[in-house]
Amino acid sequence: MSSVPLNILYEDNHLLVVAKPAGLPTMGTPEGRPTLLAIAKEYIKRRYSKPGDVYLGVMSRLDAPVTGVVLLARTSKAARRMTEQFRTHAVEKVYWAVVEGSVEPASAECEDWIGHDRRHRRMWIVGPTQPGAKHARLAYRRLAAVQGNSILEIELETGRKHQIRLQLAHRGHPILGDRKYGSPRRWPAGIALHARRLVITHPVNGEPLQIEAPLPDAWRQFGELG
């Protein structure tokens, strides 16, 4: 497990923020399989010589094929305060994605209702009266058009399962490499969706905190993107 390196973006007594690589689940896999949470707990245990079980609360969870910022709380007090920030939409969550085709208009909001198909382990766009339907909203702007694809910056306003992947695919622009939602294209590792930036209020000192995850190597094919 420790063979998977932990890319730390920010760390103090209250928070641990890391960059998740493609293919590594955040948490919730069968015993014995590596997860980001387990690797982070092992890191805290070693670094601070902590006996017994280490507390880490997952505040932002990413699908296994997605890369980028994941926020972990090191104390239950920090976890409670961060949970409230997420609940009240006081957190800014920005993603970058490479999607198929030329996205028009260049900026827009997407609003849908999403339902969960547990049998096929995927989400669907459904009507608002469908039992279990959840409201999903995001805003995007096109950063560049390259090689017949569009690079988008997405601000996530709600945090539904597979939300970005589904909403963009539903509009004819699946994320590169995302075969579950209709992309026939390959991506070097995982899919072309990256949790680029997270802006929060520090749960203890109250200061604004902006954390940005560098783009994975797979994005270099598009040149300098900032």
As annotated, the active-site residues are 63
Q: How many CB atoms lie within 10 A of CB 147?
A: 8
Q: Coil, strand, or helix at residue 36?
A: helix
Indicate the residue type of 126. V
Residue 107 and residue 139: Cα distance in Å, rounded? 7
Where would I find the H helices in 64-195? 76-87, 163-170
Instruction: Give all strands (DSSP E) within the chain, no chain letters.
Output: 7-11, 15-20, 57-58, 67-73, 92-100, 107-117, 122-126, 134-146, 149-156, 193-201, 208-212
Question: How would you classify residue 177: left for phi > 0, otherwise alpha for psi between -120 and 50, otherwise beta?
Answer: left
Provide the 8-state DSSP code for 110.
Answer: E
Q: Which residues of 52-75 are buried (b: 16+ CB within 10 A; e: fewer)?
A: eebebbbbbbbbbbbbbbbbbbbb
Query: Cα dihedral sign for 51, 53, 57, 60?
Result: positive
